Amino acid sequence: MTGGMTGAGSVAPETPVRAGRRGSGRWRWGVFAVLGVYFLVPLGASIWYTIRDRREGGITLEPYTRIPGAEGFAEAFGRSLLLASLTVVIALALVLPVVVLVELRLPRLRTTVELITLLPLMLPPIALVVGVRSVLAWAPDHFLDTPVAEFMFALQEPELPWILVLVYVVLAMPFVYRALDAGVRGAGLRTLTEAARNLGASWPRVMLWVVLPALRTSLLNAAFLTVALVLGEFTVANILGFQTFPTWIVTAAGAEPQLSVAVSVLSLLLTWGLLLLISALDRRRREDLA
Residues within the interface to another protein (CB under 8 A): 1-6, 8-12, 187-188, 191-192, 194-202, 205, 209-210, 213-214, 216, 288-290
Identify which of residues 66 and 197 has a Cβ nearer to another protein in the complex: 197
Question: CB of residue 199 vs another protein: minimum separation in angstroms?
Answer: 4
Question: CB of residue 87 vs another protein: minimum separation in angstroms?
Answer: 26
Identify which of residues 9 and 69 has a Cβ nearer to another protein in the complex: 9
Identify which of residues 140 and 183 has a Cβ nearer to another protein in the complex: 183
Question: CB of residue 184 vs another protein: minimum separation in angstroms?
Answer: 13
**HEC per residue, the chain:** CCCCCCCCCCCCCCCCCCCCCCCHHHHHHHHHHHHHHHHHHHHHHHHHHHHECCCCCCECCHHHHHCCCCCCHHHHHHHHHHHHHHHHHHHHHHHHHHHHHHHHCCHHHHHHHHHHHHHHHHCCHHHHHHHHHHHHHHHHHHCCCCHHHHHHHHHCCCCCCHHHHHHHHHHHHHHHHHHHHHHHHHHCHHHHHHHHHHCCCCHHHHHHHHHHHHCHHHHHHHHHHHHHHHHHCCHHHHHHCCCCHHHHHHHHHHHCHHHHHHHHHHHHHHHHHHHHHHHHHHHHHHHHHC
Identify which of residues 214 and 259 has a Cβ nearer to another protein in the complex: 214
Identify which of residues 1 and 127 has a Cβ nearer to another protein in the complex: 1
Question: CB of residue 93 vs another protein: minimum separation in angstroms?
Answer: 21
Question: CB of residue 191 vs another protein: minimum separation in angstroms?
Answer: 5
Identify which of residues 24 and 198 has a Cβ nearer to another protein in the complex: 198
Question: CB of residue 99 vs another protein: minimum separation in angstroms?
Answer: 18
C-alpha to C-alpha distances, 38 to 24, 55, 267, nearest whole angstrom: 21, 30, 19
Identify which of residues 141 and 288 has a Cβ nearer to another protein in the complex: 288
Question: CB of residue 278 vs another protein: minimum separation in angstroms?
Answer: 19
